[in-house]
Chain A
Amino acid sequence: MQTKMLLQTRHLSLQFGGLKAVDDVSIDVPQGQIRGLIGPNGAGKTTLINSISGAIQCTSGEIVFDGVNIEKMAPHLISALGMSRSFQHVQIFGDRSVRDNVLIGMHRHLKIGLLAQLLGTRHARRLELEAKEKADDLLRRFELLEDAERPASLLPYGMLKRLDLARALAAKPKLLLLDEPTSGMSEEEALTAIRMLKSIVREEGMTLLVIEHNMRVMMQLADFISVLHLGRVITQGTPDQVTQDPIAIEAYLGEEVADA
């Protein structure tokens, strides 16, 4: 049996005035895959993610997520279908504690009646306690447990990025879109965080679409990479294939090779 496609875009285009930010993009992401998106600045990676998550409406083409056409859907409906995303600039709930941030991620899976919450019934307290244990488990894996009680706004940037990841994973979406999850982390920090991310994604059977500039990180993480240039997918393949593909090297990797 063929693996089920969780996300498919068909001839997806998005135009800002005369600029085609996304141009006729058709990609298929099978369930359980970690798909990388690379490409030079301005290639349309973030715009592609924005149109998949519904933040920007595409001009033409279709997007099928888990069997449903979502290209015209409002973002809150898409997220209710089980798609989640992180943002390039971390959006943290700063006045809440680090642990609460992860608990907010678990919102959808924490089912407690409103009245039970207000009255603080035994049942509600028990469910909250269980959720807290799960949150602490995630925090431990991302080495944030010691700071669980601190307001999230006090964390340095690298830790915020880790918290962002932990929170996104707590939401257990079917598809998680990550926009530069390791930017601002040191190389070592990034590789550790990515290893943790990958193991949790595999455990939960999640599917990932991730933009990442650091090629070393991307090689560790992705099963399959699509290369974007000027809004188009110019080539795709396994990480090994892509790094040896002359088209990809010229458009993107070449820059890095030249820099190095």
Chain B
Amino acid sequence: MKQNQQTVWMILALLIAAGIAPWVLPTYYLYLLNLILINIILALGLNVLTGNSGQISLCHSSFMAIGAYTYTLLNNHSQLPMLLCVLVAVLLASVGGILVGYPARRLSGIYLALATLAFLSLTQILIEEFPDLTGGIRGLKIEPSEFLGWSMGNETMLFYIVAIACGFCLYITANMMRSRIGRAFDAIRTSPHAAQALGIQVAQVKLVAFTISAAYAGLAGALFSMVVGFIDPVEFGVSASLRYITFIVVGGMGSIAGSVIGAVVFTGLPEALRGIKEYGDLVYSAILLLSLIFMPNGLVGLLRARKSKPNASTVGH
């Protein structure tokens, strides 16, 4: 009961903070906050696939690209309302998830990594080979649009949209982990044999994981194009996919808090390292390596261990 109360207070505090954020934060920090929220959405989705279901993906930036390009093209060339454009973007990204997930049902480990890498290359080539539609390597600018009569250029409006989307994803993910499908995700990772013996259709669950996970990435992609206003294929390359894996590995695999912490730290870090620009990548890599060695359960694992230590010692004595 006490923990429930704590959660309610925390959610209330976050809501209030999100409510006033666009009124007090300078433009640049609001922009950074938007990116953090978008990365949280992406990390939540990737963590469902990798952390819970145990499937690696090197093509999450491609799912994001599908979402971003779909949203941008619909926004620029059609009269569809904003929400519908986002919905189509999310649906198409999940179709991408199905395309990858279908062969992935029978693959694992290094073979799955290669298959997803192939999908990433394919997406990159498709974007670059159709410059008339996608702008090719020169990228694509998002035309300003409106939502409920507000211009999407309105920062406050944009922030609220991103924040609500992120809150929604957190809510969905929390529900997922508490219910049948979330348990099945963990089951097929920990012991596929036992899961199968209990009547869980392992291949089907993997496919669902890929589809849901790609949908998160598609949403993140659509929001990304709104916030940044410009997209190009470089943004969705393999380095982006690797960065997202870093989020969840350092944050904490299979944990919602881990996704959030990882996304916050690694979106904020490059900004914090701006002063030592040349050495930024070095510090980034060092943090990744050190965390792999010293925090195998991620930052979340570290925090949990800290929390439970005093308890453990009182029980001991």
Contacts and interface: CB of A to CB of B under 8 A. Distances in A.
A103 B183 contact: yes
Interface string B237-255: 0000000000000000010
B183 A104 contact: yes
Interface stretch (A18-26, A57-65, A94-102, A186-194): A94-102
Contacts of A75: 196-197
Contacts of B175: 117-120
Q: Which bucket holds chain B's interface residue count?
A: 20 to 34
A87 B194 contact: yes
B190 interface: yes
B118 interface: no
Interface in B196-226: 196-203, 208
A120 B194 CA distance: 27
B181 A100 contact: no
Nearest to A53: B197
Contacts of B198: 79, 84, 104-105, 107-108, 167-168, 171
For B179, B181, B187, B200, the residue with the greatest tally of chain A CB atoms inside 10 Å of its CB is B179
A227 to B, nearest CB: 26
Contacts of B190: 91-96
A74 to B, nearest CB: 10
Interface in A165-201: 167-168, 171, 173
A171 B187 CA distance: 14
B82 to A, nearest CB: 22
Nearest to B197: A85
B180 A107 contact: yes
A251 interface: no
B14 interface: no
Interface residues of A, number: 36
B184 A104 contact: yes
Nearest to B183: A104
A119 B175 CA distance: 7
B191 A93 contact: yes
Contacts of B171: 120
B196 A112 contact: no
A248 interface: no
Contact of A114 (B181, B183, B194): B181
B232 interface: no
3 tightest Cβ-Cβ pairs between the two chains A and B: A91-B194, A108-B199, A120-B175
Given A53-B197, A120-B175, A128-B179, 9 more contacts: A79-B197, A80-B199, A87-B193, A91-B190, A104-B195, A107-B200, A114-B208, A117-B180, A117-B181
Interface of B: 171-172, 175-176, 178-181, 183-184, 186-187, 190-191, 193-203, 208, 254
